[in-house]
């Protein structure tokens, strides 16, 4: 077996001979007649038999396809376990629909091992025992698992060899160049993590095209959520997600041109010759579709999403680096549109990109000068119009431009990790203010609801930030609520669940903001242990004017009451809307009718004004 694992596999022929040896070794060592190797079809919907050994005269099974949908229990087992062990197939409920097939081949026991490459299921090694039941020994089980690993190594060696070969000419030229610099060539042209050509290799190929005056296009590809995977599951998982993505993209990219990794989660596909937008869009669509199916990383099921930017040289002699930069600019535009899509480059994008970079730099300065301040908008209990809480809403107090609303900078901050620093600072401000109120009113002080962006919510340091601010100010969890959107809950469902539990253990409430504006099913969302919902102002402001919005609000009130969730309507602008909500049993409300967001000082005055109510707790 050691021999099989160490053997160089650089061509399809090498691989086939290696696989054949694996099958023969297995059948000899286990004394079984049939041993077969199956590979997952490209869309993962089933497996196809690629090689087998069997008794003479048994019908050929190469090319046979088993669809996963027809044998869900079996496929579920091999996708999630290192081995599928059945000592007695006739008795095995997991085999279900596979039984007739096994009976026909007279198979009484089986020992199957999934072949996993780069964290993805590549295929299955199936060892089948003819005749009655057979109890597989522990040594036999680990032997088969090891053989499956040998196959995985052989296949990934071949994949690597093929990737290297694709570098072809470009690599040869670079080698020649590098020989004068005495550096190892492969390390320079191949990206070690993904085994794809790197930026240098891409540049060489592009220079060739420019020299030969051939047209081309660049499609820049960026992973939309790698930062979140890194932040939440760690860098090793991030690397794994990235190499899986590279592998999935490259499967198709080889048909169109050369896929290279530029840096971190950015790739570029060089498409020689093709220049019509519709052809390029068709390629972009294929790549977008390919990455849509979920993958499993470190035990978590993730859905990946990519953004693509397409650019062509204006003139054949244009600097290829400029074309790559343009494609990256277009890619960022696709990301701004929510990701999971593509955009074509146009020159105005460049000006906007510069403006965005400037904003990001200005925000860093703003943070260091403490120019980001929370304002506080009162939340009233509608039944008795008492002041019960405030929502903290950030404003940028700009030295020359005046007060800048969050719509002009929060999204930009969310794209970089700046939102984490900003969020931590604002949470501290909320606690400091709450402590002031509590010195006056103790437990009767109004609560503060703090908005969290998705990135903050999935950030493992969130709890540390919360704890530090609460400890420094002495504010208890019950004085605070966190507002999160449904997308931030659902995009990292399994991580966020722990986060919500930990937050609620500290006494803070968790409220779903902008409820009803996402696309999630309510029943799914409401499985999370939350304390309240906020009806988005786009529905509230339409009450009494638009039948659909009014009906939505009615339904949300019914839902919240039956689940005993605290419901707050935001954006109440008129007494009619406030009265409607009160009459229908909505618990709380917030909006310009009561107050605009106030400075910390004005909020304090507002509290003092309401003091007689607050003090008695009535
Ligand atoms: P949001 O969380 O949905 O906040 C409610 C928005 O509605 C606020 O806008 C508020 O000023 C506005 N609003 C309240 N009552 C009325 C009304 O009667 N009529 C109208 N037309 N608008 C009303 P604002 O302060 O501009 O905040 C916009 C968004 O920016 C917030 O939406 C939230 O998503 C984000 N944001 C604000 N502060 C923070 C923050 O500290 N952290 C994070 N991550 N996001 C924040
Ligand atoms: Ca909010
Ligand atoms: Ca809202």
* Same-domain check for residues 248 and 125: no
499-504: long-range contacts at Cβ-Cβ below 8 A with a sequence spacing of 24 or more? 499/457, 499/458, 499/462, 499/463, 500/528, 500/529, 500/530, 501/529, 502/463, 503/463, 503/466, 504/529, 504/531
HSE-CB at 206 with a 13 A cutoff on CA atoms is 27
Strands 509-515, 532-535: pairing kind: parallel
Cα–Cα–Cα angle for 544, 547, 550, nearest 5°? 60
DSSP, res 229: H
By C-alpha distance, which of 165, 210, 209, 215 is closest to 186? Answer: 165
Question: pLDDT, tens digit, for every residue of 416-465?
Answer: 889 999 999 999 999 999 999 999 999 999 999 999 998 899 888 999 99
- The lowest-confidence range among 1-5, 82-86, 152-156 is 1-5
Q: Counting atoms of ligand 1 from 1, which one is nearest the CA of 590?
A: 15
* Same-domain check for residues 196 and 70: no
Length of the chain: 618
* Same-domain check for residues 250 and 127: no
Question: pLDDT, tens digit, for every residue of 468-479?
Answer: 999 999 999 999
Which ligand sits closest to the CA of 598? 1
Cα separation of 426 and 458, whole Å? 17
Q: Who lines ligand 1 at CB under 6 A?
A: 377, 392-394, 405-407, 410, 423, 426, 451-453, 483, 513-514, 537, 570-573, 590-592, 597
Q: Is residue 406 part of a domain?
A: no
Q: How many helices (H) and strands (E) are present in the chain, helices listed first?
A: 24, 22
* Same-domain check for residues 104 and 150: yes
pTM: 0.57
Domain total for the chain?
3
The closest residue, in CA terms, to atom 4 on ligand 1 is: 393
Count Cβ atoms within 10 A of the Cβ of residue 348 and give its class: 0-12 exposed, 13-18 middle, 19 or more buried: exposed
For residue 174, what pLDDT band results from cuts at 50, 70 and 90?
very low
Strands 588-589, 120-130: pairing kind: unpaired
Ligand 2 centroid–CA 366 distance in Å is 22
Ligand 1 centroid–CA 311 distance in Å is 37
Question: pLDDT, tens digit, for every residue of 151-169?
Answer: 888 888 888 777 666 545 4
* Same-domain check for residues 112 and 198: no
| Structural domain of 567 | 376-393+420-616
Cα separation of 89 and 96, whole Å? 9
* Same-domain check for residues 480 and 335: no
* Same-domain check for residues 49 and 100: yes
What's the mean pLDDT when you consider all of the chain? 88
* Same-domain check for residues 516 and 562: yes
* Same-domain check for residues 594 and 473: yes
Q: Is residue 409 part of a domain?
A: no
The secondary structure of 112-125, three-state, reads EEEEEECCEEEEEE
The CATH number of the domain holding residue 18 is: 3.30.450.40
Q: How far is CA 360 from CA 227, 287, 293, 506, 568, in A?
A: 18, 31, 33, 33, 33
Cα separation of 148 and 126, whole Å? 10
Q: Is residue 181 part of a domain?
A: no
For the chain, helix, strand, coil in percent to 5 are 50, 20, 25
Candidate from 537, 540, 568 with most ligand 1 atoms within 8 A of CB, to mutate: 537
Cα separation of 492 and 494, whole Å? 6
The closest residue, in CA terms, to atom 34 on ligand 1 is: 451
Which ligand sits closest to the CA of 571? 1
Q: Counting atoms of ligand 1 from 1, which one is nearest the CA of 450?
A: 41
Give pLDDT, residue 297: 83
Question: pLDDT, tens digit, for every residue of 192-212?
Answer: 888 899 999 999 999 988 988
* Same-domain check for residues 83 and 44: yes
Cα torsion 577, 583, 586, 592: sign: positive
By C-alpha distance, which of 380, 374, 326 is closest to 350? Answer: 326
State which H helix or E strand residue 40 sits in.
strand 34-40
Question: pLDDT, tens digit, for every residue of 19-41?
Answer: 888 999 999 989 998 999 999 99
Give me the residues paired with residue 223 across strands.
306
- With a cut of 50, say whether residue 181 has pLDDT above it: no
* Same-domain check for residues 143 and 234: no
């Amino acid at each position: 077996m050691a021999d099989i694992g160490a053997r160089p596999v650089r061509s399809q022929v090498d691989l086939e001979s290696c696989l054949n040896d694996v099958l023969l070794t297995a059948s000899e060592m286990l004394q079984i007649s049939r041993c077969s190797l199956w590979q997952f079809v490209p869309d993962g919907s089933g497996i196809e038999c690629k090689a087998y050994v069997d008794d003479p005269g048994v019908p050929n099974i190469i090319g046979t396809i088993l669809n996963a949908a027809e044998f869900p229990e079996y496929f579920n087992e091999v996708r999630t376990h290192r081995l599928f062990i059945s000592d007695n197939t006739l008795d095995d409920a997991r085999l279900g629909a596979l039984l007739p097939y096994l009976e026909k081949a007279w198979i009484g026991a089986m020992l199957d091992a999934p072949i996993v490459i780069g964290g993805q299921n590549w295929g299955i090694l199936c060892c089948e025992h003819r005749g009655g039941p057979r109890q597989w020994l522990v040594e036999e089980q680990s032997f088969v698992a090891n053989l499956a690993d040998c196959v995985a190594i052989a296949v990934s060696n071949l994949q690597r060899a093929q990737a290297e070969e694709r570098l072809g000419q470009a690599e040869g030229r670079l080698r020649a160049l590098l020989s004068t610099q005495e550096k190892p060539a492969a390390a320079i042209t191949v990206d070690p993590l993904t085994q794809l050509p790197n930026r240098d290799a891409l540049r060489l190929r592009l220079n060739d095209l420019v020299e030969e005056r051939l047209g081309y296009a660049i499609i820049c590809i960026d992973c939309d959520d790698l930062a979140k995977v890194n932040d939440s599951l760690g860098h090793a998982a991030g690397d794994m997600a990235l190499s899986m993505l590279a592998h999935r993209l490259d499967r198709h990219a080889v048909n169109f041109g050369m896929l290279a990794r530029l840096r971190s989660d950015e790739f570029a596909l060089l498409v020689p010759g093709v220049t019509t937008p519709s052809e390029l869009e068709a390629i972009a669509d294929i790549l977008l579709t390919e990455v849509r199916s979920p993958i499993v990383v470190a035990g978590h099921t993730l859905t990946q999403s990519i953004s693509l930017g397409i650019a062509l040289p204006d003139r054949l002699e244009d600097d290829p680096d400029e074309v790559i930069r343009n494609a990256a600019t277009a890619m960022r535009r696709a990301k701004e549109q929510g990701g999971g899509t593509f955009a074509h480059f146009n020159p105005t994008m460049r000006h906007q990109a510069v403006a965005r970079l400037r904003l990001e730099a200005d925000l860093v300065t703003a943070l260091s000068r403490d120019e980001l301040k929370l304002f506080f908008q009162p939340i009233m209990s509608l039944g008795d119009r008492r002041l019960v809480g405030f929502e903290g809403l950030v404003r940028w107090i700009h030295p020359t431009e005046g007060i800048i609303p969050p719509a002009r900078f929060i999204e930009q901050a969310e794209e970089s990790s700046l939102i984490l620093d900003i969020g931590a600072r604002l949470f501290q401000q909320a606690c400091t203010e709450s402590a002031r109120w509590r010195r006056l009113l103790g437990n009767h002080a109004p609560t503060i609801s703090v908005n969290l962006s998705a990135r903050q919510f999935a950030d493992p340091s969130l709890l540390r930030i919360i704890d530090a601010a609460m400890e420094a100010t002495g504010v208890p969890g019950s004085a605070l609520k966190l507002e999160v959107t449904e997308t931030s809950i659902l995009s990292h469902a399994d991580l966020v669940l722990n986060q919500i539990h930990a937050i609620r253990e500290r006494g803070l409430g968790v409220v779903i903001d902008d409820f009803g504006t996402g696309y999630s099913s309510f029943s799914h969302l409401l499985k999370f242990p939350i304390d309240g919902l906020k009806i988005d102002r786009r529905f509230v402001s339409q009450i009494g004017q638009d039948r659909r919005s009014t009906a939505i609000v009615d339904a949300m009130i019914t839902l919240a009451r039956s689940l005993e969730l605290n419901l707050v309507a935001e954006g109440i602008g008129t007494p009619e809307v406030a009265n409607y909500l009160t009459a229908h049993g909505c618990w709380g409300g917030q909006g310009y009718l009561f107050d605009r967001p106030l400075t910390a000082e004005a909020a304090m005055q507002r509290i003092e004004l309401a003091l007689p109510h607050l003090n008695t707790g009535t």
